[in-house]
Amino acid sequence: MTRRILVRLLQSVAVLLAMSFVVYALMGLMPGDPIDLMIAGNPHLGPADAARLKALYGLDRPWAERWLLWLVQVAQGHLGYSRLYAKPVAAVLGPAVLATLELMGTALAGALLLGLPLGLRAAARPGSLFDRAANLLAFASVSLPTFWLGLMLILLFAVRLGWLPAGGMAQVGGGGAFDRLAHLALPAATLTVASLGQYIRHMRAAMLAEARQDYVRTARAKGCSPRRIALGHQLPNALLPVVTLVALDLGGLVSGALITETVFAWPGMGRLIADAVMGNDFNLALTGLLLATGMTLAGSILADLAYAGLDPRVRGE
Partner 1 sequence: MASGPSLPPRSPAALGGGLLLAALALAVALGPLLAPDPAAIDLMARLLPPSAAHPLGTDELGRDVLARVLAGGRVSLTVAAATAVLAAALGSAIGLAAGYFGGGLDAVLMRVTDGVMALPLLPLLIVLAAVDPAKLGLSPAVTGGEAFAIGRVVVIIALVGWTTVARLVRAATLSVRTRDYVRAAVAVGAGPGRIVLRHILPNVASPLVVAATLSVGNIILVESALSFLGLGVQPPMASWGNMLTGAMDQAASAPLLALWPGLAIFLTVLGFNLVGEALQAWLNPRLARDL
Tell the smallest beta-carbon distance from residue 251 to partner 1 (Å): 8
Q: Which is nearer to partner 1, 230 or 292 (CB)?
A: 292
Q: What is the dihedral of CA 279, 283, 289, 292, to 10 degrees?
A: -120
Is residue 237 within the footprint of partner 1 (CB under 8 A)? no
Identified binder of partner 1 from the candidate list 155, 228, 236, 315, rule CB under 8 A:
155
Within 11-40, the residues that bind partner 1 by CB under 8 A are 11-12, 14-15, 18-19, 23, 26-31
Identified binder of partner 1 from the candidate list 190, 234, 287, 296, rule CB under 8 A:
296
Identified binder of partner 1 from the candidate list 119, 165, 187, 270, rule CB under 8 A:
270
Per-residue interface string for the shown chain with partner 1, residues 238-267, x marking contact by CB under 8 A: --------------x-xxx-xx--xx----
Tell the smallest beta-carbon distance from residue 208 to partner 1 (Å): 8
Within 63-122, the residues that bind partner 1 by CB under 8 A are none
Tell the smallest beta-carbon distance from residue 174 to partner 1 (Å): 26
Q: Which residues contact partner 1 (rule: CB under 8 A)? A: 11-12, 14-15, 18-19, 23, 26-31, 132, 135-136, 139-140, 142-149, 151-152, 154-155, 159-160, 201, 205, 208-209, 252, 254-256, 258-259, 262-263, 270, 273-274, 277-278, 285, 288-289, 292-293, 296-297, 300
